[in-house]
Amino acid sequence: MSFDPTQHRTHAVRPFADFKLGEVFRAPSRTMTSGIFAAFQAASGDNHPVHYDIEYLKRLGHERLFAHGYMTLIQAAIGASPLAHQMGEALVGFLEQSSRFRAPVYEGDTLYPEFEITALEPGRTTGKMTVALRIHNQDGTLVCDGEQSYLLRL
């Protein structure tokens, strides 16, 4: 038996025309650990004390590390969800992103990202898919929402 790495998939690939408005895709939950805070600081270069100095935060009334908005937003990376895997090689690129940060995220919070298809705009050779993104925490609080758009081959 031979192995073909091009056929190794975690989800069945779907063409653009098979996606439907209202479909919801969820990424795995993730707890915002001190390791994630440290990795984000290293990758972003953001060293403002509001995100990394617990004594500074306590003076401002926060008991735990306070996540940067982008640190929350990266939990909505489409590649962590089944949607990107179902897009497969048809996914050309990430076109647009908007977001609103609705509530604070702290070290120890667990985030639950989801994406709902809100628009499908086919063209001649490519199509644009727009999804509403929502991220809730462990208490059910909406901490971030917005939209993302992707370009796919038809």
pLDDT digits (tens, 9 = 90+) for 59-99: 999 989 999 999 999 999 999 999 999 999 999 999 999 99
**Stated pTM of the model:** 0.92
Q: Is the pLDDT of residue 21 over 90?
A: yes
- Read off the pLDDT band of 131 (50, 70, 90): very high
Contacts of 43 (CB under 8 A, 6+ apart): none
What is the rounded average pLDDT of the residues 127-149? 98
Which burial class, exposed, middle or buried, applies to 7 when counting CB atoms under 10 A from its CB (0-12, 13-18, 19+)? Answer: exposed
What is the arithmetic mean of pLDDT over 30-50? Answer: 92
Which candidate, 111, 144, 132, places its Cα nearest to that of 22? 132
Q: Is the pLDDT of residue 138 over 90?
A: yes
Q: Topology of domain 15-153, per CATH?
A: Thiol Ester Dehydrase; Chain A (3.10.129)
Domain boundaries along the sequence of the chain: 15-153
